[in-house]
């Protein structure tokens, strides 16, 4: 089926139809402080680590809270949605099962913390399919503006970067995974609509539904 040995997946916006959760959190969090969400805010923070987003948000809006207080508020707001409401993208579960049956190593490279990703993956039935999961927060590597997280996951999966196919939804992440020497397929998500023409140009392939995902990795 495949000449490559591993598939590495992003979660928010790629495997999980969850970006609307964060848009709602942004609206509610900033709204509590009388601040409208700027048009460029979601795109700016998407590739960052959780702590980086807190630092950026505090600095940009002049907030008095500590990063820990901001992250705790976000975490409380997100936990219910990730545990019960977030769904997998169409065809994701069947596609992962198909790859696993063919012996493809399956990994995750995400900015999501354990407390959010595990409930979502268990709720959607995806959790037990992965051989490994890495988070930029937990491993202390750069956010997705750098290739570190993809290289780290390839190493943990025991494969060379050239033997990995990455699935992502953000332009900056597509570029970083390509810089890591990996093949990249991009998932269409509303959160990255403005960058979609560039994503189409730079990714090795694009899709809107995992039922159309590549069988030849």
**DSSP notation for the chain:** --S--EEEE-TBTTTEE-HHHHHHHHHHHHHTTT-PPPTTHHHHHTTS-HHHHHHHHHHHHT--S-HHHHHHHHHHHHHHIIIII-EEPTTHHHHHHHHHHTT-EEEEEES--HHHHHHHHHHHT-GGG-SEEEEHHHHT---TTSTHHHHHHHHHHT--GGGEEEEES-HHHHHHHHHTT-EEEEE--GGGGGGHHHHHHHSSEEESSGGGS-S--
Task: Please check the confidence at residue 2 and state whether its pLDDT lies above 60.
Answer: no
Summary mean pLDDT of the chain: 93
Task: Please check the confidence at residue 120 and state whether its pLDDT lies above 70.
Answer: yes
Task: Please check the confidence at residue 142 and state whether its pLDDT lies above 70.
Answer: no
Task: Please check the confidence at residue 11 and state whether its pLDDT lies above 60.
Answer: yes
Task: Please check the confidence at residue 153 and state whether its pLDDT lies above 70.
Answer: yes
Q: Do 137 and 111 form a contact (C-beta atoms < 8 A)?
A: yes
Task: Please check the confidence at residue 78 and state whether its pLDDT lies above 50.
Answer: yes
Task: Please check the confidence at residue 181 and state whether its pLDDT lies above 70.
Answer: yes
> Which CATH superfamily includes the segment(s) 6-18+86-212?
HAD superfamily/HAD-like (3.40.50.1000)
What ranges do the domains of the chain cover? 6-18+86-212, 19-85
Task: Please check the confidence at residue 1 and state whether its pLDDT lies above 60.
Answer: no
The contacts of residue 190 (CB under 8 Å, 6+ apart) are 19, 20
pLDDT band (50, 70, 90) for residue 46: confident
Q: Do 62 and 33 form a contact (C-beta atoms < 8 A)?
A: no
**Which among 41, 13, 12, 16 is positioned nearest to 26, based on CA atoms?**
41
pLDDT band (50, 70, 90) for residue 41: very high
Domain covering 19-85 in this structure, CATH number: 1.10.150
Record the pTM: 0.84
pLDDT score, position 187:
97
For 159-180, write each residue's pLDDT tens digit. Answer: 999 999 999 999 999 999 999 9
């Amino acid at each position: 089926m495949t000449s490559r040995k591993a598939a590495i997946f992003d979660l928010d916006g790629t495997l999980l139809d969850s970006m609307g959760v964060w848009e709602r959190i942004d609206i509610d969090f900033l709204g509590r402080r009388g601040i409208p969400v700027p048009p460029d805010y979601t795109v700016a923070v998407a590739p960052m680590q959780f702590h980086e987003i807190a630092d950026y948000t505090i600095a940009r809006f002049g907030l008095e809270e500590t990063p820990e207080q901001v992250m705790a508020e976000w975490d409380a707001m997100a936990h219910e949605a990730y545990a019960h409401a977030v769904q997998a993208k169409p065809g994701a579960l069947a596609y992962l099962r198909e790859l696993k049956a063919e012996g493809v190593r399956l990994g995750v490279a995400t900015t999501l913390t354990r407390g959010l990703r595990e409930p979502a993956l268990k709720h959607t039935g995806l959790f037990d399919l992965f051989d490994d999961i890495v988070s930029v927060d937990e491993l202390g590597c750069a956010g997705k503006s750098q290739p570190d997280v993809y290289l780290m996951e390839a190493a943990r999966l025991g494969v060379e970067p050239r033997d990995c196919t990455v699935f992502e939804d953000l332009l900056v992440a597509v570029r970083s995974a390509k810089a890591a020497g990996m093949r990249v397929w991009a998932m269409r998500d509303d959160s990255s609509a403005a960058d979609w023409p560039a994503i189409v140009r730079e990714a090795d392939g694009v899709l809107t539904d995992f039922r159309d995902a590549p069988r030849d990795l």
